[in-house]
Copies of this chain bind each other. A is one copy, B any other.
Amino acid sequence: MIANTPDPPYYVVIFSSIRTEITENYSETSTMMLELAKTQNGYLGVESARDELGLTVSYWKDIESIKKWKQHTDHLIAQHRGRNEWYKTYKIRIALVESDYEFHQDQL
């Protein structure tokens, strides 16, 4: 689902990744991290999709919330396994959302 974020400004973390062929514990950990992220201060929502490339876009109130989540112990352990096992390569971009707009077919 499309995340129901508040009016800008807020922050976004764009996580773009290419997976390895190692699947052990990947989907469990991924689900656990999404659940844990939801409980963090400043969390506003998440959207993700994967084809050959995976995109996970998470929304946050401010940079401080993003830094705290990055340093969360359970998340650090998952990041470590991610680099050693699950991801061939990834790129993380942190950006300030300045504007947004949306369309719903029902409103036509």
In-complex Cβ contact of A90 among B16, B48, B97, B103 (8 A): B103
- The answer to whether A53 and B95 have CB atoms under 8 Å apart is no
Given contacts A14-B57, A50-B49, contact A100 B105 (CB under 8 A): no
In the assembled complex, A102 has its CB within 8 A of some CB on chain B: yes
Residues of B within 8 A of A18 (CB): 1-2
**For window 59-100 of chain A, which residues contact chain B by CB distance below 8 Å?**
83, 87-100
In-complex Cβ contact of A102 among B2, B3, B91 (8 A): B91
Given contacts A49-B54, A83-B108, A95-B95, 17 further A-B contacts (CB under 8 A): A2-B53, A14-B57, A16-B47, A20-B105, A48-B53, A48-B55, A49-B49, A49-B52, A49-B55, A55-B55, A57-B57, A87-B105, A89-B105, A92-B101, A93-B97, A94-B97, A96-B96
